[in-house]
Structure 1
């Protein structure tokens, strides 16, 4: 069964966020807004801080789009705080980090590597109804691009707000969209 179009499964996790310290986040807290779950293998690693920093550079832009951001690894919330306190790159980040040491989230999103207890490098975008609209997963050595994530979120938000329209490849905000019909079949 595919994960796109499925509903966010129940969870409860302890989060660390620079301006809030530790707090609980549940699936109910996520509903009503757009959300990004940004899974990465582990704190204190190599590709992960570059991706998280890139995402952090887009955080204000995502907030303006009414998107909450959650960095998720199978580390504890204590590890997230220690990484935040000791890394210049991670110390700048303002979004929440969820501790998933029991692997609930990684299993819910089907990204847990059972043999190592680490999460795959994967991104999920959840709509305000708690439905998974976008997913990206890469191998451990390939980092993601937050510019592309923002573009995809804008497209998903546009499609949600404009039933009957779809966004073609490389669509950017303000570009033409398509209204699927038999008249378009074979003519694009």
Structure 2
């Protein structure tokens, strides 16, 4: 147990058995003061000291967690996490964590530095059409998938319709939109819809999303 000298307040540990053998009378090794020890008082003091230490540890833990939360908020607000997500293991860990929490990762936008690599129009039955192609994210970080806009024009080049398609409509595997648009990795898209009718001209563009 720990005892404290009443004169110099030095604290040191002694065995309870040794105290009993010396009838609870001890001599301070610092100031040489001889005093009587009350076992009950020392036990209460030891409990108080333990409570103080636990309180300090709890306070340090709370401060540590607050610092971690602040760092996380800074990383989230600045979109730094989208650069780290270029690493497949980190991205998988992020997505698994989000799934565990029952949420989805909000990949940064507006979408910039994206381009259509190529696109092809195929005529279908019933005066419909299908547009296929690839698009690429040229940024150095993972972004949210854009909305694809298709502008239909007549033989005179005048627009007759503006159609918009979300990632879930043009990706072969709609669930891939959750993983984000990877950097420098061309992605196939396919647009087939009753709204996409045969026209004299088609213009495919990527719309920036907030």
Q: TM-score, normalised by structure 2?
A: 0.18
Specify which structure has the higher proportion of helix: 2
Specify which structure has the higher proportion of strand: 2
Higher relative contact order (CA 8 A, sep 6+): 1
> Larger C-alpha radius of gyration, 1 or 2?
2
Q: TM-score, normalised by structure 1?
A: 0.19
